[in-house]
Amino acid sequence: MALYQRKDIRDNLEDSIFGSRDSEIRMPKYRFPKTESDPKVILEVLKDELFLDGNARQNLATFCQTFEEQEVHEIMDLSINKNMIDKDEYPQTAAIEERCVHMIADLWHAPESKNTVGTSTVGSSEACMLGGLAMYWRWREKREKEGKDTSRPNLVTGPVQVCWEKFCRYWDIELREVPMERESLAMTPGTMLEHIDENTIGVVATFGLTFTGKYEPVKALCDALDQLSGEKGIDLDLHVDAASGGFLAPFCAPDIPWDFQNPRVKSISASGHKFGLAPLGCGWVLWRDRGDLPKRLVFHVNYLGGDMAVFQLNFSRPAGQVISQYYEFLRLGYEGYRKIHMNCYRTAQYLAASIEKTGLFDILYDANPEKGIPALAWALKKDAKVNFNLYDFADKLRSRGWQVPAYSLPKDAQDVVVQRILVRQGFGLDMAELFMEDFRRTLTFFEGHEVVTPLTQREAGGFNHAG
Ligand SMILES: Cc1ncc(COP(=O)(O)O)c(C=O)c1O
């Protein structure tokens, strides 16, 4: 899809990007080049152009990995030509994917008596789409068997990532996103029940909310659904969107009963490329039992002359991310994941304490492993005597390369503007101290430079990954 209109770009067709170093080079931007060029020159020019991007390691907005060991680069290089869908040509890669599914099933307490199935995906969005689709089909098949209406499906969720809005829009399902309770800043059993009716296909709980980092209370939501089933006969499944928490809680808060330990949890999705520590382009979705994945959604490809079932939106897909995921599992094990993630929690806690010490901000979430992911979120105190808003603050921090998004919370709490930091491997205490120096420098700057026209969310342009 063309994102730019031709008429808007025609004026820029002749832009030169080199000028000072090699004035003979002009990078074609909108017209297909007629001739070949020297690969070294093109590589250099491209590298230079990429300097204009933000520095990924200073991107404190993203949940995704921005640090990889050298071995991962080697694996990605080795597998650049492997297609994940070609199970017959690359049977060992297919076997590695299967091993990952088994290992994740183990991590998420899949019941041994069940036939847990799963697949790798491009990321959590595809994984959520597949989990949601299976849930929708199960609900529809059940209703059709009972001779009931299936024309007005709805999905009940807390404050979800945009992938669930997409899911609902693409499949024509009403999204019933419960408004954010000010106290809990998440869906509670009470608010969930208020939104359910007989057309509800199921519930999505987010284990690591995009807006604050907090975990939604999966067990309490399941208990409330049990009660609803007993009282009204409405029997609903739950999908856990554990994009971040799925590879955190098993190592750092193993006692939280958020996963397949709850019989109502029929599917779970997570991003391998977030706290699974795989490079970008890796997600996972697992179903409690083969029976929870409707047969008609499954397609079949060749595998060693035989047949392998697949359920994915894409056909061709790079395999390196999945092989790297397996590398990380073997390389780190339970202990390694725990060490890396606990260091992230400690760094985030240091940041939360330091920001609170300034006396100007309320900390909304402070990276407690029992409550959420290694992130922190804060808002300006109501009575803070300052002459800037958080959008101005985010904008000024960018002048030192730090990307720290500021955004308003969803429905019912939209007047609360927050700023959030995600701590991932590669952002340790040393970097955090340097960040805090810039944070305090920014406060001092605003003491001397009053903001005359405050920025808006749109102008500050911070991307919060909620969509
Ligand atoms: C809760 C949640 N679900 C889904 C997604 C989408 O994940 P991905 O970027 O892997 O598609 C995100 C991304 O931040 C998320 O936080």
pLDDT the model gives residue 16: 43
* Euclidean distance between CA atoms 427 and 415, whole angstroms: 31
Strand partners, 336: none
Please report how the helices 91-107 and 320-357 are oriented relative to each other, as an axis angle in degrees rounded to 10. Answer: 40
* Euclidean distance between CA atoms 366 and 351, whole angstroms: 9
pLDDT the model gives residue 7: 59
Mutate to test the pocket of ligand 1, among 66, 163, 277 (most ligand atoms within 8 A of CB): 163
Q: How far is CA 233 from CA 228, 264, 354, in A?
A: 7, 14, 50
Q: Give the Å distance between the CA of 125 and the centre of ligand 1.
A: 6
User: In this structure, what are the phi and psi dihedrals at residue 270, rounded to the nearest 5 degrees?
Assistant: -155, 160
pLDDT the model gives residue 185: 75
pLDDT the model gives residue 15: 43
Strand partners, 303: 306
Q: Are 460 and 395 in contact (CB under 8 A)?
A: yes
pLDDT the model gives residue 19: 43
Q: Are 115 and 158 in contact (CB under 8 A)?
A: no
Q: Which residues line ligand 1 (CB under 6 A)?
A: 63, 123-125, 128, 161, 163, 206, 208, 210, 241, 243-244, 271, 283, 465
Mutate to test the pocket of ligand 1, among 121, 271, 314, 464 (most ligand atoms within 8 A of CB): 271
* Euclidean distance between CA atoms 140 and 149, whole angstroms: 9
For each of the domains in the chain, give its residue range(s) and CATH number, in order of start: 6-53 (no CATH), 74-328 (3.40.640.10), 343-460 (3.90.1150.160)
**pTM of this prediction exceeds 0.85:** yes
Q: Give the Å distance between the CA of 104 and the centre of ligand 1.
A: 18
3-state SS assignment for residue 163: helix
Cite the DSSP H helix spans in 248-366.
249-252, 320-357
Residues of the chain with confidence (pLDDT) below 70: 1-25, 181-184, 461-467
- Sheet containing 283-287, strands listed edge to edge, beginning at the edge strand earlier in sequence: 117-121, 283-287, 265-271, 238-241, 200-206, 154-157, 174-177
3-state SS assignment for residue 455: coil
Q: Are 208 and 374 in contact (CB under 8 A)?
A: no
User: In this structure, what are the phi and psi dihedrals at residue 279, rounded to the nearest 5 degrees?
Assistant: -70, 165
pLDDT the model gives residue 449: 84
Q: Give the Å distance between the CA of 274 and the centre of ligand 1.
A: 9
pLDDT the model gives residue 305: 77
pLDDT the model gives residue 464: 61
pLDDT the model gives residue 1: 52
Region of 147 on the Ramachandran plot (φ > 0 left; ψ -120 to 50 alpha; else beta): left
Q: Give the Å distance between the CA of 163 and the centre of ligand 1.
A: 7
